[in-house]
Amino acid sequence: MFNSTVLEVAIGLVFCYASVALIASSVYEAIASWINLRSKTLFTGISYLLNATGDQASGKNLLQKIYNDALVHPSGDGKTTHFDKDKCIPAYIPSKNFALALIHAIQQTPGNFENLSADINAVKDEQLRNLLRSLERKAAGNLDAFQYEVANWFDASMERVSGIYKKWSQLWCFLIALVIAIIFNIDSVHLFKTLWVHPSLVAQVNFDKVDPAMAAKAYQQLQMLPVGWNQSFEWSALLSPSLWLGWLLTASASLFGAPFWFDTLKTLVRLRGTGLKPDSEKATRDATVK
């Protein structure tokens, strides 16, 4: 179905995309961890969920109580007032813990779970109060059922927050991948043309030693492919549409993610293993002399 040249070109391109995606995601994760992006995104999402943005003091008070609950913020001291400046706020909150923390936060008498209806009626924010009332009616006044309904509401809301986070992370990963493609001149068009003419170049790359969790090793293997700048490069070449198209293709391919490309790479390598690998240039010359 495929000849050796097609396979070698496909393997080279897929490995290139996998390496760029891995490096870009590693850089993004390092930045996100440094600025606590996940924690801040979660905090912002819960703030909107409780109508705790702007000048709505009641929502802010409820948000503060929930984040000071040990079920939500076990590493906190229970007295924090400025969570947007707290570098230790959680990046993930189990829905059951949030639901119970919310019940704790709305209680007028701590530890009294029998006055759930009165506690809900005392919630100052009208929108949140109506929501909790509807959840209570659905739970038929049962505390465990009410906690389950609140947890489901939280999960559904966090799915939207997660979707927004993923969209922004994809955008930033694309921009990071584009910068990597430009800095190291990883031009998909040039790479395809070179590998098509010299498919044996892919044989240099030792795929067995590439660890998908190690971006440094992936980059070292990537250098064995026809990428990078050469001394004969002229700055006027930056105006070439083909060059920019190659960079954009490389950056766009990274959006599929490193796991996708490494799985594809394994499939292609296994497929190549059923046939003959292309001879190296040296082997070809020796055969010609004989």
Please tell me the distance from the alpha carbon of residue 143 to that of residue 141, in angstroms, as a whole number: 6
Token readout for 227 is 């990428």
pLDDT 10s digits, 148-203: 999 999 999 999 888 889 999 999 999 999 999 998 888 888 888 877 776 666 66
User: Which residues touch 185 (CB under 8 Å, ≥6 apart)?
Assistant: 227, 228, 229
CB-based burial, 105-128: b 16+ in 10 Å, e otherwise? bbbeeeeeeeebeebbeebebeeb
Please tell me the distance from the alpha carbon of residue 276 to that of residue 4, in angstroms, as a whole number: 7
Q: Which residue has the tokens 């779970």?
A: 113
Residue by residue, pLDDT tens for the chain (290 residues) are: 445 778 878 888 888 898 899 999 999 999 998 888 888 889 889 988 888 776 655 678 888 888 888 888 887 666 666 666 666 788 889 999 999 999 999 988 777 778 888 888 888 888 889 999 999 999 887 889 999 999 999 999 999 888 889 999 999 999 999 999 998 888 888 888 877 776 666 665 655 555 555 556 655 555 556 677 766 666 666 778 888 999 999 999 988 988 888 888 888 877 766 654 555 444 444 444 43
